[in-house]
Every structure is written in structure tokens, then in C-alpha cells.
Amino acid sequence: MPELPEVETIARKLEPELIGKTILDADLRWPRTLAMPSVKIFKQQIKGQKIREVTRRAKFFILHLSDFSLLIHLRMSGDLLIRNSTIRPEKHDRLILRLLSAPSSAQTAAEDGGLSSLVFNDTRKFGRVWLTSTPEEVLGRLGPEPLSREFTAQWLYNALGKRHRQLKPLLLDQTFLAGLGNIYTDEALHIAKLHPLVLSDSVTVEQARDLREAVRKVLKEGIRRNGASIDWVYRGGEFQNHFRVYDRAGKSCPVCSTEIKRIIVGQRSTHYCPKCQADAEVTHG
DNA sequence: CACGTCACCTGCGTGC
DNA sequence: TGCACGCAGGTGACGT
């Protein structure tokens, strides 16, 4: 499920439910969900930690605790939700953190007995969790945030020129730019009118500027629509109702009505409009 | 460094 | 119905 807008949506939604709560204990129902440290150390260290802040970096959800950072990556099918502690675990729950409300929030405590849980549910078991006091070790190699000030047209133009890769796989590379996934990459390339197979070092200054604007536009739109929900994973968003090309092979381009094509690039489904995103280098090269 | 392949997992839709 | 197959929003570890 989650690309940047989905993780951002979840973080914003959970923040008010989590801030100030104390983690009582952890129920690790699928141990391999834990990337580090060991199960034993994890259960010791997480106990009694207070949640100070809830943020996001790339596709990582970050809980800033008293003494550690808890990093959660949802990968393909992960989801995070708050549940009343009295409700029994569900089939694909991988990690459940029992939370205690802060003494000051007496109203909340009165409603739910003071006990709620943060549940990491992940059907396909690809998701991972890290508890660490040095989060840079996990996040350090990520590229810039597309919605940050450092992601300028000039930076993008320079960075594209240093590489010799097709745009689609390069934009999916989290060490190049952080947060894009298969949906938003296809959507951004369509908005920018760039073919997914265009080589990065052939992109002009103007095209780099358009691509930068397109990436930011589509990510903001995704966030504004609370992300995209497809199939059984992650309910709540509505961006899936506004896809221009993603998952629309055979349907018509919203700009020019040409039939949208689907190809495989780097083992990933790739959708584009052959007219809007025609490129001489690719089609005749 | 680029790029191909497989691996990690479960579940859903399709076609026979 | 059953069954095989292809597909899925991600990444990491290989080998060439």
C-alpha cells in the first residue's frame, strides 16, 4: 500500500492518539517483523517509553520515544491503527503495543479505561520495525524529501544529469529521491509528460522543472485525498478515484483520450499515455 | 554503477 | 468446485 502520501496520512491521523501515551508492553506476534534489536532487548527497552512525537521520513513512520526512535516501514501491505485494548487480535496483526494514557488526559482515560493499543497489521509480512537510538543508521542513505525545500528544480536537474538511468526505476530508487512508489511515479511522469524509459541524463532543464512540479503536485494531491486505497489494503483514502494512468491500461488518457499503455519496467507495472508521454529518444531511438 | 533475478509473503481475480 | 496462474502500493541480496 503505502507510498509517501499514505504514510503521511496515517501519521497525521495517529499523532493525536499517540502523543503523550506511555508504552506498557509489546506483543510481537510475528517475530521477523522486528528488524532490530533482538526480541528480548526490544521488549525490555520499549517498556515504559513515552511517545514524544510522531513524524514521517520517506515511507518510514517514526515514533520518537523518551530514549529511542521506533521506525516502522509498512512495505506492501502494512497498516497502523489504534484499537481498544480489550478487542482480541486479528489474523494479520504482527505487533501490538499496549498504551497507557497520560494522567492528564482524564477524559480519554474515562472513555476507554485508559487502555488502547497501536496495532501493526501486515498481511504479507514484508513490513519491518526498528527500535534504535541512532535512526540515522536506518534512514541515512535516503534521498531528499520531495516536499522539502532542498528538492529544487536545480537539484533535480543536476542529480538526473549525474546518472544514466531510465526515469521510472530512478524515481523509485529511495536513495535518489525518498517517498515515491509505483503509483505516484507513474502519475508524476504523466503530469510532466515524460516517458518512463527516458534516460535521466537526457532530461532538459525545463523538463526537470516540470518533473519537480509534477512530483510535488501529485504527492500533495495524494495527501489531500488521504492517500490511495486499493483492494483490501488500507481503507479510507480516495486518490484511487483520480488516477490519470496508474492501473488504467486500455482506458483513455484524461488529457488526450489516447489509450493508456502498460509495460513492465524493472519488474514493475508501468502505465503511461503514448501520446502525452511520447519521446523521440525512446520511440525512435 | 547499472541491471537482471530471485526472495520474502498472502490473498484476490481470472480462466480452464 | 477446484486449481493453476498472474497480479499486487516495496525493498534487499545476490550475480553479471
Question: Which nucleotides in chain B lie closer than 7 A to a protein CB?
Answer: 1-6, 8-12
Provide the CATH number for the domain around residue A178: 1.10.8.50
Would you say residue A108 has pLDDT above 90?
Answer: no
How far apart (Å, rounded) are the C-alpha atoms in residues A180 and A164? 19
- Domain total of chain A: 2
Q: Does one domain contain both A42 and A128?
A: yes
Q: What percent of chain A has pLDDT over 70?
A: 92
Residue whose Cα is closest to the C1' of B10: A124
Residue nearest to nucleotide C11 (CA to C1'): A75
Nearest to A165 by CA among A203, A200, A205, A189: A200
Residue pair A49/A63 in contact by the 8 Å Cβ criterion: no
Residue A270 CA distance to nucleotide C5 C1' (Å): 21
Instruction: Give protein residues whose Cβ lies within 7 A of nucleic acid chain B.
Output: A 32, 91-92, 123-126, 163-166, 169, 231-232, 266-267
Quick one: pLDDT band at residue A114, thresholds 50, 70, 90? confident
Q: Which of A17-31, A57-71, A185-199, A267-281 has the lowest mean pLDDT?
A: A267-281
Distance A170 CA to C15 C1' (A): 21
pTM over 0.85: yes
The DSSP bridge partners found for residue A70 are A63, A131
A34 & A157 share domain? no
User: CATH number for the domain including A113?
Assistant: 3.20.190.10
**Statement to judge: residues A102 and A164 lie in one domain:** no
Question: Which nucleotides of strand C come closer than 7 angstroms to any CB of the protein?
Answer: 7-12
- The answer, yes or no, to whether residue A285 has pLDDT greater than 50, is no
User: Residues near A60 by Cβ (< 8 Å), separated by ≥ 6?
Assistant: A7, A71, A72, A73, A138, A139
A109 lies in a domain?
Answer: yes
pLDDT of A254 > 80? The answer is yes
**% pLDDT > 90, chain A:** 89
**A244 is a domain residue:** yes
Assess whether A180 and A77 both reside in one domain: no
Q: What's the CA A110/C1' C10 distance, rounded, in angstroms?
A: 40
Q: What confidence category does residue A232 fall into, taking pLDDT thresholds of 50, 70 and 90? A: low
Query: pLDDT digits over A234-243, tens only?
Result: 667 999 999 9
Interhelix angle A205-224/A153-161, rounded to 10 degrees, is: 120
Of the three residues A139, A166, A185, the one that is the final residue of a domain is: A139
Q: Which residue has the cell 532530461?
A: A203
- Tell me what the mean pLDDT of segment A103-108 comes to: 56
Q: Kindly state whether residues A130 and A39 are assigned to the same domain.
A: yes
| Structural domain boundaries enclosing A123 | 4-139
Average pLDDT in the A34-58 region?
98
pLDDT of A169 over the 90 cut: yes
Evaluate whether residue A279 is within a structural domain: yes
Q: Whose C1' is closest to the CA of A92: which nucleotide?
A: B10
Active site residues of A: 2-3, 59, 268
Residue-level pLDDT at A284 = 40
> CA of A40 and C1' of C4: distance in angstroms?
42
The tens digit of pLDDT for each residue in A26-41 reads: 999 999 999 999 999 9
